Each structure stands twice: as structure tokens, then as C-alpha cells.
């Protein structure tokens, strides 16, 4: 029976609640440690780098500028991640939120610009509807293909991101191009069009309509999942698809709802972004919120409150990363690796919620 | 007995958090002895055999194998020491052949041709007809079990553990199995036989050890002890035998007219032209070997699979195009065979599982808003009325033993006062007293005017509660006949004869 040491994973009889709560914190700590090593290897002081990323945006010298940024960057992440989490809970994988975000922005901005230069109270609400519709219709493509032909929504939704990016480029160079823009690609700036401008509700707070929408989405998702038949159907489908079907859940309708809802929220995020912080449609309008929101959804354990916190944390690493790039000269790729680590550690540690390690001796294979 | 016992257990104990699974269990098995292990669900039978098979380490006590200390750290060591085990649930790959499946379980498998030859030899020697090149997905449950048995026999075990081997077999298949086991025992292989079926134990076993709540409560010689006495030792109280009411059935509740459905998967079974009527207050028992359309029939009745117009009529209305929820609202309820993952969501609480099918009829989610208080009260009511042993409705379905979860699943439907209840394998893997109480609940329902369809592979059960009996074979339903007076042989023939009998060389 001689042998080498073996480490085995063993399923816990009940999921560990303590681990479930501790995992996000541990993941952040592990990311700090290994991110610190990475920064050291790049020749930077790890403590300064970590402080720059996590501390300076909140309490540093220029925090008056960065704090509103936290809301501006956090809102689209939370809004999109809430939508994604509904599908993820039911095993419906929309990873094309980036594309739906772009389409929402295009539809929203297009609606606003169609009225230019007319002013009116109804323009902004119409843009909101158009943005939601743009995201929804883009998400309906993978949804309908899945329910009609059984295609894989992961692939279709992802591929449509690249199609949407081409649309975005085409629109910035063509239909939506600013006629008074001296030939530069990009639309008119909606910040200078009062009826279409998604301005801060309180000047300089970063609190625009997208932040309000994100808060509403958090509350809506919380109530839906804990109190409503549909939220229960989503959870059962994720836990036990056959039991869900037996209980009367219609899988087709659920796919349409989950993909549609995540499309709507991603589209809204795009619309609020283009009409507010970004101001205009440009070729490089999208900066990856739709993909980062996937991390946010999991970091928040697919729970609405968790997603709210995770969205703010992620926004923090974005802002802090920017500061680290400009102040410390860290390469952008290092910041992305840092964010990637966060997801990696979260998922790796997550396993211990359901499994535990057993050490023992095994036979030679 | 003067010879050294093959296996001797002394004072074995094993505790899990909150429950003592085995408490000071001692027993001894001689070479060639067929020893029965009897007990209710949760009595500790599985834990005990898992310790012998090296899957679980005892907290205390010793095991001696032929006089030498025996403490297998893992199943491989137990197999090397000559212990083989046939589990209740088969671990076979549908898409592979018999020989390929067997090769997968072997330490160093021989060449496929040599292995096929060995399989043929063993199958001839022990009268277990089985062709090595057949694909497992096409085999009946009985044949799959033979694959598992042959897999064990190839290692020439000294002790063969069999966990409820007959629960999926036709009477004829049981006969074949018993002949095999007797032959093995004649050659000196000891058999540890776990079963709930007392008649079988009386027919087959030389000795029996009875467990209750983890303790040995008695040893007996089955042939000299009545089934009733054994059951009473096992349960610890007098056994409740269901009482037939003997009533004339009422109006037709359900009509199936030429019900056909394509097979849902490559290894499923299509339903072929099933026509039958079920009346108020009657129990239609449907027998048949597993995999002959039982799951598919239940799905067509529960509404998980929709049927063309005109095939399924419930109380005068065509319901073929209605899904599970509207059918439930009308009073058409069902309980599938697979408890975890189909009838119940394993990781969810009993409250959530009560909501799963109770929402519509118990009004647990008026206008879509879930009333968690009402759902919990409904779960609590099921737990109390059906004696489900669990700390409370907040516990996950997965944490319940099979029998307790089954009581919950059946109770959940029964308490919703169905007009028609379809159940598949209502007492599968459930101990005698729980099975008796489930059957009594079904009889009480019929008494109250509910029409019932009970699909089961336990013929004794069907004979006990059915008014009429029919059998599923290859997706076809035989003409229902009055259950009274049917002989076991007639039933076997209705079930399509013995599966694989024509090639038996016993």
C-alpha cells in the first residue's frame, strides 16, 4: 500500500454558509496578494499600487473627483449584472451583454437625435424606451434561435457582440455622424442637447438616471427572486430543470424572459451611458461593461445585494486601475490581469462552499 | 457452526453528525451462507455494507475476514480481499456495450475478445443470459443487473453483497437470479442479501439479521419465521396491512384514446396506442419491467409532454394540450418515480418543494406573489400527516432519506385532494411501514372517490391495492383485467413474458 499523498475533493453534505459569505472577501484578499506579487515583478511597490487602486479613489487627495466616478462606472455594471444574474440562476447564459449594451446606446441615441433640435419633455422617456428595445431585440436573436432551433445561446450572444461593434462603427461613420463634426467620426454630443441629456440629478454627484435605474433593478430583482412565482421558477430551473418542468415551468418562456430582461437592462445601461457620461456615439464607445458585468454577477454570487456591492468594488478597481496607470505607469494589461485574478480566485474558492479537501494516502496509480 | 466464519463483525459503530447509523453491530457469515440483512429505511443497512465494502470507515469495532483482521480503506482493497457488491443503482454507460462497461470497472482489463469470452463463460456457468456485445442502453433493468453481477463474479468474490436486487425484476427474472445465487452459494460464495421483500428472504436466505435504528434487534432463520414476525421485528410495532374497500367504481374520470408519443431520447421508449379508461374510486395498477414506457406515460399524464388533440380526456375535457399547472388546477396530479431532481429539487427546502407542485391548488402564490407562510404551513402539514422524519420544513430535500422524501412527495399530492392521481413507483426503496402507510393513503384516496393510476414494478404491491391490472411492454399497454384472481404467471405473461427468457439456458 505504499503511495504518494493525495488530495481529494469531497462534497459537503450541506453547502457551507460561512464559506459562501467568506469567499468574496477571501477572493479579494488573494487578489491583493497575488496582484501585489505581479506589481512587484513589474518593478512597482506593491503596497503603493494596492493603495492606489483600493484606497485613493475613496479617501485620497482627489477623492472628491473619483467618488462620483464610482457611481458612474458602477451603475452600468450593476444594471447589466442584475439582468445577467436572472438568466445565470436558471442556467441561461447570456454572455453578449456588451452587444446589447451597444445596441441600446445606438437605439437610444438614434431616437434622441431623430428629434434634434426639437426640445420636449417626452424625448428622454422615448429614448429610454428605445434603448430598452434595442437591447431587448438584440437579446431576442439568441433567445429565439435557442427556443426554435436549440442553438447555444453562449455562442450566438457572444458572436452578436462583434456584429454590434460593426454596427457601432458603421453608425459613427455614417447615419449618426455629426453633420457639424468636421468629418470626425461620432455623433452629436447629447450633453449639449438638453432634452436628451441624462444629466446628474444633483450637480457633480455622479447620480444620473442610470444610477436610479440600477437601484430600481436591484430592488426589482430582489423582490422577484424572493417573492414572486417567476423568480421561484428561475431558481428551480437552475437547481433541477426536470423538477421545474414537472412543476409547470415553461422552459421556452423562461428563456425568452431571462434573455429578454438581461437585454433590456443592458440596453438601458448603454442608453444612459451614451446620453450621459459618454455623451456621444463613437467607434470606441463600448469599454467592456458587458463583459465585466459577468464577473460582477458571479462576484455578487448572483444575489441582487451582492451584485450591488460587487459592482461598486469592480468600479473601484477600474478607477483605481486608471489612477495606477497614470500615476504609477502600470500597463493597462496588468490592471486587466488583476481584475481577471479576482474572478479566478472567486470561482476557485467558491468550490469550497460545496466541497472540502481531504488529505490522505493513495496507491501508486 | 464450528468452522471459521468467512466474515465476522464485532461491535461495529458509526455515527454521523446528529445520527448514529450503526451502534454495536455484530454478525457473522459462514462461507456459502446466504445471509439476509433486514431493516427499515435509515436502519443502518447501507452504512453497514459500506463499511464492509470499504466506502465508510467504522468509528469502533472490528471486522475479521477468515479470522484475519479486515479493515479495507477503500473499495479496491475490499475487492482484492474478495468482497463484491451489486448496488441498487447501476453505474453503467448506456452508449457502451456490455463488455466495454465491464472493462471500465476492472483494474487491468484483458483484451476485449478475451473479456467477451470470459463474460460468456460466466454467464453460461451461472445461468445469466447476456450477450457481451449488446449496447447497455437497449437492455432491460434485469439485464443491466446481470452486467453488474457478472462484473463482480469475474473477480471471483468470496462474499457478494446485493442491495435490493429484485426491486426492478419480473417474477421470472427473480427466479433466474435466485437460481444463480443458490448456485454461487453452493460453490461456497457467501451472499449478504439486503431486501424489504420478506417472502424472498424466506425463500432464499439461510439466516437473517434484523436492524432497527442502527442496532441489531434480532437474528432468525427466515425459513422458520413467518414474514409477519420478521416485519414486526423490523418495524417494532404491528404491521398495518392495507384494507381493500370493495366498492363499485363511479364515472369515468380519465380516458386515454390511442395515446401515442415519440420517444423523448435515444434510450427512451415511445408510447404506442394506449387506450384505457379510469373511473372514480378505482385503482388501475400498471406493471411492467422498468424502461417500457413508465416514465413516458407519467410525463404524458402530468403535462410535461403534450399530446395531440383527442388522446387525453379528463372529466370530459381534452387536456392533451394543457401543461402541468392547468392540469393540476383541474385536479389531475402526479408523482414521478425519480424523487431527487424530478419530483423534488434536491438543494431546495421542503417548503420550497411543497410550493413546487402545491402552488396552484393550495393557493400558495395568489396573483404570482408567493405566500411563504402558507407554503411552510403546507410543508409542515405534509410532514405531520405523513410522518416525514426531518428536523423541519427548512431542511433541504437532499438531506432526507429516500423513504422519508417519498412520503413527502406522495403526501404533497395526496393532501391536494386530487380527482386523478398518477404515481410511479410509490414505494420504491421505502421501508415496510412507510410503504404500508403510503399504500393506505392511496387506498383512502380511492375510497374518497379519486381515480388512481399506480405504476409499479412491485407486483405484490399492485396485487394488494389494484382493482384492475394492466402491464406496459415496449410502450404498449395490455388490456386491463380485474386484479382479483390473477396468478403471478398470468401477470408475467401480460408483462411480455420474461425479458430474455428465451435465451436462458438454466
Q: Choose the closest CB to B346 out of A240, A245, A248.
A: A240
Q: Is residue A160 part of a domain?
A: yes
Q: Is residue A138 part of a domain?
A: yes
> Which structural domain range is residue A230 located in?
74-298
The answer to whether domain B7-235 and domain B252-338+419-503 are alike in fold is: yes
* Calpha distance B269→B107 (Å, rounded): 34
Q: Is residue A51 part of a domain?
A: no
Given strand B7-16, what is the order of strands in its sheet? B19-29, B7-16, B60-65, B68-69
Task: Kindly identify which residue of chain A lies nearest to residue B356, measuring between CA atoms.
Answer: A247
Using N-to-C axis directions, what is the helix angle for A289-299 and A251-275, rounded to 10°? 120
Inter-chain contact B345–A243, Cβ cutoff 8 Å? yes
Query: What DSSP letter does each residue of A288-341 carry, written as one string?
Result: SHHHHHHHHHHHTTT-HHHHHHHHHHHHHHHHHHHHIIIII---HHHHHHHHHH
**What's the half-sphere exposure (Cβ side, CA atoms, 13 Å) at B184?**
33
Inter-chain contact B344–A13, Cβ cutoff 8 Å? no
Task: Kindly identify which residue of chain B lies nearest to residue A246, measuring between CA atoms.
Answer: B304
Using a CB-CB cut-off of 8 Å, the residues of chain B touching A247 are 324-325, 356-357, 359
Task: Kindly identify which residue of chain A lies nearest to residue B396, measuring between CA atoms.
Answer: A14
Q: Is residue A85 part of a domain?
A: yes
Backbone φ, ψ for residue A3 (5° rounding): 175, 180
In terms of Cα–Cα distance, which of A318, A338, A309, A236 is closest to A81? A309
Residue where the block lists cell 417500457: B292
> What is the CA A253 to chain-centroid distance, rounded?
24
A:12-41 residues touching chain B, CB 8 A cutoff: 13-15
Are the CB atoms for B136 and B101 separated by under 8 Å? yes
pLDDT score recorded for residue A255? 95
Task: Kindly identify which residue of chain A lies nearest to residue B17, measuring between CA atoms.
Answer: A13
Q: Does residue A104 have a pLDDT over 60?
A: yes
* Calpha distance B35→B144 (Å, rounded): 24
Using a CB-CB cut-off of 8 Å, the residues of chain B touching A236 are 345, 348, 352, 356
For each of chain B's 506 residues, which pLDDT tens digit applies?
456 889 999 999 988 766 678 899 999 999 999 999 987 766 788 889 989 999 888 999 999 998 889 989 888 889 888 999 988 777 888 888 999 988 887 777 788 888 899 899 888 888 888 888 888 888 877 788 889 888 888 888 999 999 888 766 777 788 888 988 999 999 999 999 987 677 788 888 999 998 888 889 888 898 888 777 777 777 665 544 455 545 677 899 999 999 999 887 766 788 999 999 999 999 999 987 777 888 899 999 999 999 999 999 999 999 999 999 999 999 999 999 888 899 999 999 999 999 999 999 999 999 999 999 999 999 999 999 998 888 899 999 988 887 889 999 999 999 999 999 999 999 887 777 788 889 999 999 998 999 999 998 777 788 889 999 998 888 889 889 888 877 766 776 677 643 333 333 33
**What's the half-sphere exposure (Cβ side, CA atoms, 13 Å) at A78?**
31
pLDDT score recorded for residue A156? 96
Inter-chain contact A248–B365, Cβ cutoff 8 Å? no
Q: How many domains does chain A have?
A: 1
pLDDT in tens, A251-276: 999 999 999 999 999 999 999 999 99
* Calpha distance B57→B54 (Å, rounded): 7
Hey, how many other C-beta atoms are within 10 angstroms of the C-beta on B200? 20
What residues are paired with B64 via a beta bridge? B8, B69
* Strands B34-39 and B207-212, sheet pairing: parallel
What residues are paired with B481 via a beta bridge? B469
Task: Kindly identify which residue of chain A lies nearest to residue B347, measuring between CA atoms.
Answer: A239
* Calpha distance A92→A94 (Å, rounded): 6
The domain limits of chain B are: 7-235, 252-338+419-503
Q: Is residue A33 part of a domain?
A: no
Q: Is residue A219 part of a domain?
A: yes
* Calpha distance B355→B372 (Å, rounded): 9
Q: Is residue A59 part of a domain?
A: no
Q: Is residue A359 part of a domain?
A: no
pLDDT in tens, A217-246: 999 999 999 999 999 999 999 999 999 999
A67 touches chain B (CB under 8 A): no
Backbone φ, ψ for residue B420 (5° rounding): -135, 130
What is the length of chain A? 365
Q: Reduced to 3 DSSP states, what percent helix, strand and coil does chain A have, rounded to the nearest 5?
A: 70, 5, 25
pLDDT in tens, A54-101: 888 888 888 888 889 999 999 999 999 999 999 999 999 999 999 999
Most A-contacting residue of B16, B345, B355, B367 (CB-CB within 10 A), to test interface: B345
Using a CB-CB cut-off of 8 Å, the residues of chain B touching A230 are 368
What's domain B252-338+419-503's architecture?
A: 3-Layer(aba) Sandwich (3.40)
The answer, yes or no, to whether the previous bond of A117 is cis (omega within 30 of 0) is yes
A232 touches chain B (CB under 8 A): yes
Could you tell me which residues come within 8 angstroms of residue B280 by beta carbon, excluding any fewer than 6 positions away?
B249, B250, B251, B252, B253, B419, B449, B450, B451
Pull the grid cell for residue A95: 454572455
The number of C-beta contacts closer than 8 angstroms across A and B is 73
Could you tell me which residues come within 8 angstroms of residue B458 by beta carbon, excluding any fewer than 6 positions away?
B167, B425, B427, B428
Are the CB atoms for A86 and A262 separated by under 8 Å? yes
Distance between A153 CA and the closest CA of chain B, angstroms? 22
Using a CB-CB cut-off of 8 Å, the residues of chain B touching A242 are 338, 341-342
Fold adopted by B7-235: Rossmann fold (3.40.50)
Which residues of chain B approach chain A closer than 8 Å at the C-beta? 73, 76-77, 302-304, 323-325, 328, 336, 338, 340-348, 352, 355-357, 359-360, 365, 368-370, 396, 399
pTM of the model: 0.74
Report DSSP state, residue A13.
Answer: S
Given strand B83-86, what is the order of strands in its sheet? B83-86, B159-163, B190-194, B34-39, B207-212, B215-220
Task: Kindly identify which residue of chain B lies nearest to residue A245, measuring between CA atoms.
Answer: B304
* Calpha distance B29→B27 (Å, rounded): 7
In terms of Cα–Cα distance, which of B344, B347, B397, B350 is closest to B372? B350
Inter-chain contact A236–B369, Cβ cutoff 8 Å? no
Task: Let me know if B421 is exposed, middle or buried by CB neighbors in 10 A (0-12, 13-18, 19+).
Answer: buried
Amino acid at each position: 500500500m505504499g503511495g504518494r499523498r493525495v488530495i481529494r475533493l469531497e462534497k459537503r453534505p450541506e453547502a457551507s454558509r460561512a464559506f459562501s459569505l467568506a469567499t468574496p472577501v477571501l477572493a479579494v484578499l488573494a487578489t491583493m496578494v497575488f496582484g501585489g506579487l505581479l506589481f512587484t515583478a513589474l518593478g512597482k511597490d506593491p503596497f503603493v499600487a494596492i493603495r492606489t487602486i483600493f484606497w485613493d479613489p475613496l479617501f485620497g487627495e482627489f477623492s472628491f473627483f473619483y467618488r462620483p466616478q464610482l457611481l458612474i462606472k458602477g451603475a452600468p455594471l450593476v444594471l447589466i449584472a442584475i439582468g445577467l444574474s436572472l438568466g445565470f440562476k436558471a442556467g441561461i447564459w447570456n454572455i453578449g451583454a456588451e452587444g446589447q449594451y451597444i445596441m441600446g446606446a445606438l437605439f437610444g441615441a438614434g431616437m434622441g437625435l431623430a428629434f434634434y433640435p426639437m426640445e420636449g419633455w417626452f424625448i428622454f422617456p422615448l429614448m429610454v424606451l428605445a434603448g430598452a428595445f434595442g437591447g431587448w431585440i438584440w437579446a431576442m436573436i439568441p433567445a429565439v434561435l435557442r427556443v426554435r432551433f436549440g442553438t447555444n445561446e453562449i455562442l450566438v450572444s457572444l458572436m452578436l457582440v462583434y456584429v454590434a461593434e460593426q454596427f457601432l462603427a458603421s453608425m459613427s461613420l455614417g447615419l449618426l455622424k455629426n453633420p457639424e463634426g468636421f468629418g470626425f467620426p461620432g455623433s452629436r454630443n447629447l450633453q449639449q442637447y438638453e432634452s436628451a441629456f441624462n444629466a446628474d440629478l444633483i450637480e457633480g454627484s455622479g447620480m444620473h438616471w442610470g444610477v436610479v435605474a440600477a437601484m430600481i433593478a436591484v430592488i426589482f430583482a430582489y423582490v422577484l427572486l424572493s417573492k414572486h412565482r417567476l423568480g421561484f421558477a428561475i431558481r428551480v430551473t437552475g437547481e433541477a430543470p426536470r423538477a421545474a418542468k414537472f412543476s409547470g415551468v415553461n422552459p421556452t418562456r423562461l428563456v425568452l424572459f431571462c434573455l429578454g430582461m438581461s437585454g433590456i437592462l443592458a440596453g438601458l445601461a448603454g442608453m444612459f451611458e451614451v446620453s450621459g457620461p459618454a455623451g456621444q456615439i463613437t467607434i470606441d464607445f463600448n469599454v467592456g461593461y458587458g463583459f465585466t458585468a459577468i464577473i460582477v454577477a458571479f462576484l455578487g454570487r448572483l444575489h441582487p445585494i451582492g451584485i450591488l456591492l460587487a459592482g461598486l468594488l469592480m468600479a473601484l478597481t477600474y478607477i483605481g486601475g486608471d489612477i495606477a496607470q497614470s500615476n504609477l505607469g502600470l500597463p493597462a494589461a496588468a490592471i486587466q490581469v488583476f481584475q481577471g485574478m479576482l474572478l479566478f480566485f472567486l470561482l476557485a474558492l467558491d468550490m469550497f462552499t460545496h466541497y472540502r479537501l481531504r488529505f490522505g494516502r493513495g496507491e501508486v496509480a | 457452526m464450528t468452522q471459521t466464519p468467512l466474515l465476522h463483525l464485532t461491535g461495529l459503530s458509526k455515527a454521523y453528525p446528529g445520527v448514529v447509523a450503526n451502534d454495536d453491530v455484530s454478525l457473522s457469515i459462514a462461507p456459502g451462507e446466504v445471509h439476509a440483512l433486514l431493516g427499515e429505511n435509515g436502519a443502518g443497512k447501507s452504512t453497514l455494507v459500506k463499511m464492509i465494502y470499504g466506502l465508510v470507515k467504522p468509528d469502533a469495532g472490528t471486522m475479521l475476514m477468515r479470522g484475519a483482521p479486515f479493515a479495507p480503506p477503500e473499495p479496491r482493497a475490499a475487492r482484492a480481499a474478495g468482497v463484491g457488491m451489486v448496488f441498487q443503482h447501476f453505474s453503467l454507460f448506456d452508449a457502451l456495450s456490455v463488455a466495454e462497461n465491464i472493462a471500465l470497472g476492472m483494474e487491468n482489463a484483458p483484451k476485449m475478445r478475451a473479456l467477451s469470452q470470459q463474460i460468456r463463460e460466466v454467464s453460461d456457468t451461472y445461468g445469466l443470459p447476456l450477450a457481451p456485445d449488446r449496447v447497455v442502453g437497449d437492455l432491460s433493468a434485469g439485464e443491466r443487473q446481470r452486467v453488474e453481477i457478472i462484473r463482480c463474479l469475474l473477480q471471483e468474490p468470496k462474499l457478494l453483497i446485493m442491495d435490493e436486487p429484485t426491486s426492478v425484476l419480473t417474477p421470472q427474472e427473480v427466479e433466474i437470479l435466485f437460481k444463480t445465487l443458490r448456485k454461487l452459494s453452493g460453490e461456497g460464495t457467501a451472499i449478504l442479501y439486503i431486501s424489504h421483500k420478506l417472502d424472498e428472504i424466506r425463500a432464499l436466505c439461510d439466516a437473517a439479521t434484523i436492524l432497527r435504528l442502527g442496532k441489531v434487534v434480532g437474528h432468525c432463520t427466515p425459513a422458520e419465521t413467518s414474514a409477519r414476525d420478521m416485519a414486526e421485528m423490523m418495524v417494532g410495532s404491528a404491521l398495518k396491512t392495507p384494507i381493500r374497500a370493495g366498492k363499485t367504481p363511479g364515472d369515468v374520470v380519465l380516458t386515454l384514446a390511442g395515446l401515442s408519443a415519440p420517444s423523448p431520447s435515444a434510450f427512451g421508449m415511445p408510447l404506442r396506442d394506449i387506450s384505457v379508461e379510469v373511473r372514480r374510486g378505482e385503482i388501475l395498477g400498471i406493471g411492467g419491467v422498468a424502461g417500457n414506457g413508465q416514465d413516458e406515460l407519467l410525463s404524458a399524464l402530468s403535462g410535461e409532454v403534450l399530446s395531440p388533440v383527442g388522446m387525453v380526456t379528463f372529466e370530459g375535457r381534452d387536456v392533451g394540450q394543457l401543461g402541468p399547472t392547468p392540469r393540476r388546477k383541474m385536479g389531475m396530479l402526479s408523482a414521478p418515480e425519480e424523487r431527487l431532481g424530478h419530483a423534488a429539487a434536491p438543494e431546495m427546502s421542503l417548503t420550497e418543494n411543497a410550493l413546487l407542485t402545491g402552488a396552484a391548488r393550495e393557493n400558495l402564490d395568489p396573483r404570482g406573489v408567493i405566500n411563504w407562510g402558507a407554503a411552510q404551513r403546507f410543508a409542515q402539514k405534509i410532514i405531520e400527516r405523513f410522518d416525514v422524519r426531518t428536523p423541519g420544513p427548512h431542511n433541504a430535500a437532499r438531506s432526507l432519506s429516500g423513504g422519508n422524501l417519498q412520503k413527502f412527495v406522495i403526501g404533497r399530492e395526496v393532501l391536494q385532494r386530487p380527482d386523478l392521481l398518477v404515481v410511479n413507483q410509490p414505494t420504491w426503496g421505502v421501508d415496510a411501514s412507510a410503504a404500508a402507510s403510503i399504500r393506505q393513503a392511496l387506498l383512502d384516496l380511492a375510497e374518497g372517490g379519486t381515480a388512481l393510476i399506480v405504476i409499479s414494478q412491485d407486483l405484490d404491491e399492485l396485487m394488494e391495492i389494484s382493482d384492475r391490472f394492466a402491464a406496459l411492454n415496449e410502450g404498449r399497454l395490455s388490456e386491463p383485467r380485474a386484479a382479483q384472481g390473477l396468478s403471478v404467471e398470468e401477470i408475467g405473461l401480460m408483462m411480455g413474458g420474461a425479458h430474455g427468457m428465451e435465451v436462458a439456458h438454466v
